[in-house]
Amino acid sequence: MSEVIGLVLPFFGLIFMGFLVARITRQPLEALGWMTTFIVYVALPALFFQLLAKTPFERLTEWGYIFGAVVSTFIIFALMFTASYIKGRGEIAESTIKGLASAYGNIGYMGPGLALLAFGEEAAVPVALIFCFENIMHFTIAPMMMALAGDEPRAPMSVALDVLKKIAFHPFIIATAVGVLAAYVEFRPPLPVERFLEYLSRAAAPCALFAMGVTLALRPLKRVPHEMVPIALLKLIVHPLVCYVVLSWIGNFSPVWLFSAMLLAALPTATNVFVIAQQYGVWVERASASVLVTTCASVLTVTGLLYMIQHGILPPDLFP
């Protein structure tokens, strides 16, 4: 157990450090802007490119793996959306945000750092593939469902073009595509460029986790909504279990790939859920609460999952 605690303590410690510093210095959220820009547009794209470019191309076309991970996430979204839709008597917009809070994990900021720390560089490829294709799904679901709810004022063609633009020009997805292309043509950057990318990559996880802690500190929790219990259970426990079952059933994936997908599924609600809620003016405070509550609870659940993985309690293939 001490090994697992030693693994996650520095990771969650960086989040806590960001939270603490933000509470002490009382800087506005806008002060985080340039760090967020550096993380999203420079550090994490450099990390994705560097690791993907070194990977044999055939390992980047595991369509069964991609399908299983994305379907697992969609199942969780559909469960919460359906339950909320029925209980709310046809409330689409609010049900969409609840569904995203239950399924959209913090795979961008927390995923790469924790997976690489837990499983080594072999985890980079599954993390990048899951991030790329799950974000395509999330970028599509949110505006589509809001359009159905009538909360999207733009014309359908404008919404579709905006979705395509977000997918095509997202820096993580661009870096993933360029990394895959580099792997295909077996391109290796010159040594000075390689060192520069490595330097940027090392900054990705610490900066992202610190920024996440600051964000949580500056969006204080006023009350815990009653919806937090099913959302936290679905996000932190049911989602990784569904992912485990689906990927074990689909194919014979390596333990690192299977457990990387489980770990990403077990991560707390992404801060982007709050951004989407704020964009449409739907369930804003509760979306913020879901990020904070699931992040705090994930200290225990993620630690427990890593303990079960490292001590062989979870077999690497449920259906041998």
H or E segment at 3? helix 2-25
What integer pLDDT is reported at residue 128 of this predicted model?
A: 86
Tens of pLDDT, residues 36-79: 899 889 998 998 888 788 888 888 889 999 999 999 999 999 99
What integer pLDDT is reported at residue 152 of this predicted model?
A: 62
What integer pLDDT is reported at residue 199 of this predicted model?
A: 94
Residue 269 has phi, psi (to 5 degrees) of -55, 135
Of the chain, the end-to-end C-alpha distance in Å amounts to: 27
d(CA 84, CA 91): 8
Tens of pLDDT, residues 118-145: 999 899 889 989 988 898 898 889 888 8
Helix 191-217, helix 2-25: angle, nearest 10:
70
pTM given for the model? 0.89
User: What are the distances in angstroms from CA 280 to CA 36, 62, 101, 149, 150?
Assistant: 22, 35, 15, 11, 11
* Residue 34 in tokens: 């340039």
pLDDT < 70 positions in the chain: 151-153
d(CA 123, CA 47): 12
